[in-house]
Amino acid sequence: MRALVMVDFIRGLCRVEDEGDTLSNAVRERNVLEVASGCLEAARDADLKVVHVRLAFDPACMNRTNRTSRFGLYEETGRFSAGSAEVEFCEEVQPAEHELVLDKGSVSIFASTPLMALLHAQGIAQIYVAGVATHLAIESAAREAADRGFAVEVIEDACAAPRSLHEHSVNSTLPLFSSVVSAADFSRAIRR
């Protein structure tokens, strides 16, 4: 069985109004939300399991497993708090009522969520990953999923990071842990 995992498609990462925000700029320039929306529609049409994982801290930050200073600053300032506008999903990729939504307090989609157990319980052996940021959450997802026995495919044009970081990830790092495919490749593969 296969699943599509949508990672961090939230307003506070993909729709920052500050022109200096390189991640939001990359999302816009690459049309990532539109491409991801097409992938989501294709997955739904093919009856794939879909999971949405987002950075969102519970009120006590009990789900925070990442102890870096950056995550400490998020906790101190209340950034990415569950229920805030920052963690709302972008309109193009809103979860459907029956799709699983997990909040994480880490870069990894696995470290602070029950995702691993849920995928195993559903008999999922292959995951397709789309999201932001390519060099952070997507690389982390591919590395850990591969180590845990999943076949992993990263949908390159449904991911974003500042250009040099994105290109390094898709050309050098991600191929070590996953297949890197296009949204068109993904759509064709799941129709089979």
Q: How confident is the model at residue 151 (pLDDT cuts 50, 70, 90)?
A: very high
Q: Which residue from 51, 18, 35, 25 is spatially nearest to 145, judged by alpha carbons? A: 51
Helix boundaries (H) for the chain = 11-14, 22-29, 32-45, 69-77, 115-121, 139-147, 163-168, 183-191
What does the pLDDT look like over 93-116, one tens digit per residue? 999 999 999 999 999 999 999 999
Q: How far apart are CA 135 and CA 140, in angstroms?
A: 8
pLDDT in tens, 8-67: 999 999 998 877 789 999 999 999 999 999 999 999 999 999 999 999 988 888 788 878
pLDDT in tens, 66-85: 787 878 788 888 889 999 99
Domains in the chain with CATH codes:
2-191 (3.40.50.850)
Q: Compute the Cα dihedral for 85, 86, 90, 93 and give only its sign.
A: negative
Check whether 7 has a pLDDT greater than 90.
yes
Residue 138, classified by CB atoms within 10 Å of its CB into exposed (0-12), middle (13-18) or buried (19+), is: buried
Sign of the CA dihedral with 45 first, then 46, 49, and 50 last: negative
CA distance 134 to 107: 11
